[in-house]
Amino acid sequence: MSTDEATRNKATATRLHDAVSTRDPEIISKVIDELVAPDALFHTPVPMGSTGAQALKQVWTVLLRAFPDIQVAVEDVIAEGDKVVSRNTVTGTHRGEYQGMAPTGRSVTYGEIFILRFEGGRIAEIWGVVDVLSQMRQLGAVS
């Protein structure tokens, strides 16, 4: 795997981040279709009944409904071989139903780390670790 390939993969990951940063469902959906393999494998909790690019679109539909002002700040990006790792800080205000919870109006800030594996220039596999406990604490779901 060349340095050029790692650089291209990092640029692709940045394009995905830029798309989700628009908070525009049409742009997000279009870019996911372009950059994520239809059968991409997820090693994260994703909605049941969907896989690949479709699952990622569903995740963003849920997040945008729950946190319409969601922002993902990329703190670190490391690209090596066929993988790109990003450490992010997510912020948002709970304004819509989320995980069965009615909107609380509370703000949340939590961390996440994602590893993306690329194949043929597209995201083929995703691992994610999201600080859900911190998120749920801030929403008042757990003490």
Of 135, 133, 93, 114, the C-alpha closest to 17 is: 114
Q: What is the dihedral of CA 31, 33, 37, 41, to 10 degrees?
A: 90
Report the number of distinct structural domains present in the chain: 1
Residues facing residue 98 across a β-bridge: 101
Interatomic CA distance for residues 89 and 141, integer angstroms: 20
Residue 1 scores a pLDDT above 60: no
Residue 21 scores a pLDDT above 70: yes
- The pLDDT value recorded for residue 47 is 66
Domain with 39 in it: what CATH number? 3.10.450.50
> What percent of the chain is predicted at pLDDT more than 70?
97
- The pLDDT value recorded for residue 37 is 96
Residue 13 scores a pLDDT above 70: yes
- The pLDDT value recorded for residue 48 is 63
